[in-house]
Amino acid sequence: MTGLSLLHSVSNFPPSNFPLSCSASRNGLLRRTAGGGSGFKQPRGVAAVRCCTGPAEAAQTNNRTATLKMGNDTLDICRVLNGMWQTSGGWGTIDRNDAVEAMLRHADAGLTTFDMADHYGPAEDLFGIFINRVRRERPPEYLETVRGLTKWAPPPVKMTRTFVQQSIDISRKRMDVESLDMLQFHWRDYNNPEYLDALMHLTDLKNKGKIKTIALTNFDTVRLEIILENGMPVVSNQVQHSIVDMRPQQRMAELCGISGVKLITYGTVMGGLLSEKYLDTNFRIPFSGPKLNTPSLQKYKRMVDAWGGWSLFQELLKTLKKIADKHAVSIPTVAVRYILDQPSVAGSMIGVRLGLSEHIKESNDVFSLALDQEDLQHIEHVTKKGKDLLNVTGDCGDEYRRA
């Protein structure tokens, strides 16, 4: 099986404990096969996902939660996630007490899912303090709604069982939980096939109760297919996805629709570029444009440049502003709703600068917004003028793996 042949092969999945063996390389990558065979097999109990195709169906998915499921592994999340990359530095100094109070305000407002990583500064520690406040100060049924999703991006060392377990135990200790709600796995170098060994060890830890669900972050479609072919029970893949960056809808979403894997998106408001703040701004005159003074603003400005430049982006912002005014919401709310309505998208991230600034109302406005066909046509009239980022930067996550 080569390329995206998975998209044309659906049957039953092999048991999760089947033996793995190394075989020949594909596209320069080692892969593993089960029992000497090949071919994707859909996990038992996972129906093929029917994609959202228009505003009528989109309006039916405005519920606050989504269920991530693979086999017997299930996790409910809030569809608007609180992204905690902003705790890692570069967005201002975070006060611990203020940050935890802000986390409580978000959760009290129904925004109960927090996304972090082992390398996002004190993010996991803040969650540990926060979850203990919840245990002491909120009723048990409240605690049941809170989710802490973390990521692990291991260094380029041997993926032994001991190393993987020790790494996960550190996150469990920092977050003060017996079992991680979700471990999202990132791998830097596809030329090193040990990502399969790491995922196998993570699956063992899941079976021991240390992890509830396993997910990926920034994996491309080819590697996701290989991982699924090897029976790894991943429930989601977190990828960059916005009105400007529609790469996940070209290959990834089709594979997700067949396999049941969901997408969690980040960069959906492009670090704040998709907002009223950047409407009617100009970078052509030196020092006249708005300051791009955070890592996320700088990153997503580069994506705008690759997509079509600032003038086209201004046309997009003006279009989104008209739609936002029509529905009495903000541009970021429209931007998030548009992506939540895309096929296989379970949730979208909004970065939170805990204790510094808040957008709780705008986040909750997403759930009551339904874009109509006219809105979609106006948006796509502009976006079709931009470049296909799949051809410019590669598939999901490829921008992190350039030489």
Q: Which residues of 240-261 are buried (b: 16+ CB within 10 A; e: fewer)?
A: bbbbbbbbbbebbbbbbbbbbb
Round to whole Å and give the CA distance between 126 and 102. 11
Tokens of 131: 């979850």
Q: In the predicted model, is pLDDT for residue 305 greater than 90?
A: yes
Q: In the predicted model, is pLDDT for residue 41 greater than 50?
A: no
Q: In the predicted model, is pLDDT for residue 14 greater than 90?
A: no
- What beta strand segments (E) does 208-352 contain? 211-217, 234-240, 262-266, 345-351
Tokens of 171: 């996150």
Tokens of 22: 């190394």
Q: How many CB atoms lie within 10 A of CB 50?
A: 9
What pLDDT, on a 0 to 100 scale, did the predictor assign at position 10?
31
What pLDDT, on a 0 to 100 scale, did the predictor assign at position 86?
67
Please state the domain extents for the chain. 55-387
Q: Name, in order, each residue with C-beta under 8 angstroms of 95's C-beta and a sequence gap of 6 or more.
A: 355
Q: Which CATH superfamily is domain 55-387 in?
A: NADP-dependent oxidoreductase domain (3.20.20.100)
Q: In the predicted model, is pLDDT for residue 178 greater than 90?
A: yes
Model confidence pLDDT, tens digit, residues 87-143: 666 556 778 898 999 999 999 999 999 999 988 778 899 999 999 999 999 999 999
Round to whole Å and give the CA distance between 134 and 5. 46
Model confidence pLDDT, tens digit, residues 223-277: 999 999 999 999 999 999 999 999 999 999 999 999 999 999 999 999 999 999 9
Indicate the SS3 state at residue 131: helix
Amino acid at 291: K
Cα 351 to its chain centre, rounded Å, is 12
Q: In the predicted model, is pLDDT for residue 378 greater than 80?
A: yes
Q: Is the Cβ–Cβ distance between 38 and 49 less than 8 Å?
A: no
What pLDDT, on a 0 to 100 scale, did the predictor assign at position 292?
85
What pLDDT, on a 0 to 100 scale, did the predictor assign at position 154?
95
Question: Residue for token digits 């995922």?
Answer: 199
Name the residue among 171, 99, 109, 86 with its Cα closest to residue 130.
99
- What beta strand segments (E) does 50-139 contain? 65-70, 73-78, 80-83, 113-115
Q: Is the Cβ–Cβ distance between 360 and 221 less than 8 Å?
A: no
- What beta strand segments (E) does 186-257 contain? 211-217, 234-240
Round to whole Å and give the CA distance between 333 and 330. 5
Burial of 28 (0-12, 13-18, 19+ CB in 10 A): exposed
Question: Residue for token digits 């793995």?
Answer: 20
